[in-house]
A and B are shown apart, each in its own frame.
Chain A
Amino acid sequence: ANTETYLKSVALKHMPPNLQAVDLGKSVQK
């Protein structure tokens, strides 16, 4: 939640509407 809040406030909310979400599951090593 902390990380999501950070990403949203710094960058994601300033991006185009269809690009404002990043799946943090992608940060987990595959």
Chain B
Amino acid sequence: MFCEKAIELIRELQRASDGQLPAFNEDGIRQVLEEMKALYEQNQTDVNEAKSEGRSDLIPTIKFRHCCLLRNQRCIAAYLYDRLLRIRSLRWEYGSVLPTSIRFHMCAEELEWFNQYKKSLATYMRSLGGDEGLDVTQDMQPPK
């Protein structure tokens, strides 16, 4: 059945409780992208045949494959986006230098995203509290 690999990616994240970051599943992403390529090419063939030979009976199949393409796209986007939310939370839990063990679980693009996020946050914090700025990542609990 189509989209099985895609839902596995989602289940993998759901199993990682409380915002932990599992290793980036590059192989899983690659497999989903390959399935999308195959589905798209099959649909292109059928669309051309439907147009040129009047095969309107192919429309249900084309729609079926399109649903699968959308599903794969959604799963990949949600997988990657949820990982960014976990990575973002790491800045607030660990500070700007992440433990090596966590960095190993991130792909190069995620490390880059994290660096950009740190810069955005730093720029924002510098803009607060007059000349000195304000580190809003400190004092997360109220004073006694």
Which residues of A come within 8 Å of B, CB atoms?
2-3, 5-7, 9-12, 14-16, 19, 22, 27
Contact = CB atoms under 8 A, between A and B. Distances in A.
B120 A7 contact: no
A3 B84 contact: yes
Grouping DSSP codes into helix (H, G, I), strand (E, B) and loop, the B interface class, with mixed when no group exceeds half, is helix
B69 to A, nearest CB: 6
A24 to B, nearest CB: 8
Interface of B: 29, 33, 36-37, 40, 69-70, 73, 76-77, 80-81, 84, 107, 109-110, 112-113, 116-117, 120
A2 B116 contact: yes
B33 A15 contact: yes
A14 to B, nearest CB: 5
B76 A11 contact: yes
Decide if the interface of chain A is mainly helix, strand, loop or mixed. helix
Given A3-B84, A11-B33, A19 B113 contact: no
Contacts of B37: 16
A27 B81 contact: yes
B136 to A, nearest CB: 19
Nearest to B37: A16
B77 A2 contact: no
24 contacts: A2-B113, A2-B120, A3-B81, A3-B84, A5-B113, A6-B80, A6-B84, A6-B109, A6-B110, A7-B77, A7-B81, A9-B109, A10-B80, A11-B29, A11-B80, A12-B77, A15-B33, A15-B36, A15-B73, A16-B37, A19-B36, A19-B69, A19-B70, A22-B73
A10 B29 contact: yes
